[in-house]
Amino acid sequence: MNKAPPIVKKNIIMQVQNVARHYKVSNGLLRGKSTVKALDGASFKLKAGSTLAIVGESGCGKSTLARVVAMIEEPTSGHIEINGKLADLDEPGTRKSVQIVFQDPYGSLNPRHKVGTILEEPLLLNSKKSNEERRHLAIEMMTRVGLRPEHIDRYPHMFSGGQRQRIAIARAMMLDPKILVLDEPVSALDLSIQAQVLNLLIDLQDSLGLAYIFISHDLSVVRHISEDVMVMYLGKVVEAGPAATIFDAPSHPYTEALLSATPTTDPNARKKRIMLTGELPSPLNPPPGCAFNPRCPKAAQICRINEPTLKENGLAQVACHFPNLLT
């Protein structure tokens, strides 16, 4: 297992309080609208130069959280603070401080733009640099992410998936952000390419002091790269804490099931899995009380009535009526 870097007191670069994102969906003619609570109250503090991972399955709201934090969508409620000040898009520096890298390396680059154009675009839109300066910065960035600068006039379809993801990372870096939101950046890549891209991200973090919000469903990657982890289910945070605590001593039954369901690469350790029954619930129709109760092995009457709130449990916080207690 990797050794975590020594714990150093780092300052909080981003603080998110109770952000929620609700959508109104029509039920067809004459039947009014219902509210989809894609994200329902998430909070976290992100330390400079560290990685916070957000894990969960479909419908848990992690991608919505990514879009809200990257300021692509406005939260329905709650607020975001960057460096102690409320994030305001009208202020010029705000856009530059948070950038996002998407999951799909095939859809996140404009197929009709050359790589040079793609990389220079953020500078074109946000700074007054000359053509030569922009070109130079683009070439520099390409080299930094491990691409050959001679390829600057190529189109995205001439690159492999791993190389496209590097271009996407390079583009996100052009404005010199301090926070990078990475929405499943390596999920669509082969294992050997995944390792290369993860190494690139680690190198960038170490040399530039970047803070990452790393969204993934792949727990082995998350365990390797993050210091803090937040587990989400149906738009709510069910458990949060340092990575070592979450993985070695999970408090929430969903986290336990998630860890148990992840296949390990040791054929001799074919374990008895915690098999969850049932399907993932739909955000249009959340179960009453605790959203996890229909599938939870520990569910009791109170779970169907009362929604649990996040409470401290040792080094972690957990939202459960019957968590595994950590002293």
CA–CA separation, 98 vs 181, rounded Å? 7
Q: Which stretch binds another protein (CB under 8 A): 23-31, 46-54, 271-279, 315-323?
A: 271-279
The closest alpha carbon to 314, from 252, 234, 254, belongs to: 252
Shorter beta-carbon distance to another protein: residue 277 or 327 = 277
CA–CA separation, 238 vs 295, rounded Å? 14
- Interface pick for another protein out of 18, 34, 77, 220 (rule CB under 8 A): 220
Shorter beta-carbon distance to another protein: residue 19 or 152 = 152
Shorter beta-carbon distance to another protein: residue 135 or 326 = 135
Shorter beta-carbon distance to another protein: residue 284 or 305 = 284
CA–CA separation, 236 vs 43, rounded Å? 10
- Interface pick for another protein out of 10, 224, 298, 321 (rule CB under 8 A): 224
The closest alpha carbon to 224, from 201, 257, 208, belongs to: 201
Beta strand extents in the chain (DSSP E only): 12-26, 33-47, 51-55, 77-82, 85-86, 98-101, 179-183, 211-216, 228-233, 236-242, 311-313, 316-318
Shorter beta-carbon distance to another protein: residue 157 or 327 = 157
Shorter beta-carbon distance to another protein: residue 57 or 307 = 57
CA–CA separation, 270 vs 264, rounded Å? 8
- Interface pick for another protein out of 171, 178, 236, 252 (rule CB under 8 A): 171
Which 145-164 residues touch another protein, going by CB under 8 A?
149-155, 158, 160-162
Would you give the end-to-end CA distance of the chain in angstroms? 24
Whole-number minimum distance, CB 3 to another protein, in Å? 8
Number of residues located near another protein, criterion CB under 8 A: 82
Q: Per CB under 8 A, does 255 bind another protein?
A: no
Which 80-139 residues touch another protein, going by CB under 8 A?
95, 99-100, 102, 104, 107-114, 121-122, 125-126, 135-136, 139
235: left (phi over 0), alpha (psi -120 to 50) or beta: left
Determine contact, residues 20/76, Cβ cutoff 8 Å. Answer: yes
Q: Per CB under 8 A, does 27 bind another protein?
A: no
